[in-house]
């Protein structure tokens, strides 16, 4: 992705790489939003969808200190940086060239990228992962469509996934999933 931007001589701002007005403020907002959104999804949205409170795909993380460094690397760089760059930055730019910049086109781009983001999570997390990915994509895609900025979303994505890892590592999934409806 980064190589594509360099080789195409595309301005970084076209894929959302815009300097935040405040680095500290953007990080703080991203962390707070990512943590709150994960807790909302785990405690309210996913139970309403009938999801198992335990994410079976990641049960190997429960109490597993040895797995943490690799997982932390994956969620910070792979998900936070990588997935946001691909699904929000790159895909919004490419689909924007195809559909245009009108409101209906941006709504369609949010929908298409959300579906693809959800499908990307199906293989390892099944239907609940795809459902959560789709909703995540709708929310993050809408924010990106409105702001055109990706940095805070990268931080929020990493915070969302780090919160998920913490909940799993400390074996709190069932408790968090049952906070509202049990």
How do residues 34-93 score in pLDDT, each as one tens digit? 999 999 999 999 999 999 999 999 999 999 999 999 999 999 998 999 999 999 999 999
Reported confidence tier of residue 10, pLDDT bands at 50, 70, 90: confident
Pull the structure tokens for residue 46.
Answer: 């996913």
How do residues 20-36 score in pLDDT, each as one tens digit? 999 999 999 999 999 99
Q: What percent of the chain has pLDDT over 70?
A: 97
pLDDT value at position 23? 97
Reported confidence tier of residue 144, pLDDT bands at 50, 70, 90: very high
Q: Do 55 and 125 contact (CB within 8 A), yes or no?
A: yes
CA torsion, points 135, 139, 181, 161, in degrees to nearest 10? 80
Average pLDDT in the chain: 94
Pull the structure tokens for residue 74.
Answer: 């994956």
Residues 6 or more apart whose CB falls under 8 angstroms from that of 151 comprise 16, 17, 18, 20, 26, 30
Residue in this structure with the two tokens 């689909």, named with its chain if needed: 95
pLDDT value at position 31? 98
Pairs from 31-35 (Cβ < 8 Å, separation ≥ 24): 31/155, 31/156, 31/159, 32/159, 33/152, 33/156, 33/159, 34/155, 34/156, 34/157, 34/158, 34/159, 34/160, 34/161, 34/162, 34/163, 35/159, 35/160, 35/163
Please state, in angstroms and rounded to a whole number, the distance separating the CA atoms of residues 81 and 155.
8
Indicate the domain borders of the chain.
21-177
How do residues 64-75 score in pLDDT, each as one tens digit? 999 999 999 999
pLDDT value at position 12? 85
């Amino acid at each position: 992705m980064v190589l594509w931007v360099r080789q195409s001589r595309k301005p970084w701002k076209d894929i959302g790489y815009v300097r935040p007005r405040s680095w500290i403020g953007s990080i703080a907002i991203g962390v707070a939003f990512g943590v709150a959104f994960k807790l909302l999804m785990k405690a309210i949205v996913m139970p309403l969808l009938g999801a198992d409170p335990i994410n079976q795909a990641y049960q190997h993380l429960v109490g597993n200190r040895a797995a943490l460094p690799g997982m932390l690397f994956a969620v910070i760089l792979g998900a936070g940086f990588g997935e946001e760059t691909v699904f929000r930055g790159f895909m919004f730019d490419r689909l924007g060239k195809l559909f245009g910049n009108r409101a209906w086109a941006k709504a369609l781009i949010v929908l298409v990228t959300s579906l693809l983001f959800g499908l990307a999570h199906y293989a390892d997390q099944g239907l609940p992962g795809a459902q959560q990915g789709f909703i995540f994509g709708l929310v993050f895609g809408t924010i990106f469509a409105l702001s055109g900025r990706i940095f805070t979303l990268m931080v929020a994505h990493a915070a969302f996934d780090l919160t998920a890892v913490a909940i799993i590592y400390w074996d709190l999934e069932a408790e968090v999933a049952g906070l509202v409806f049990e």
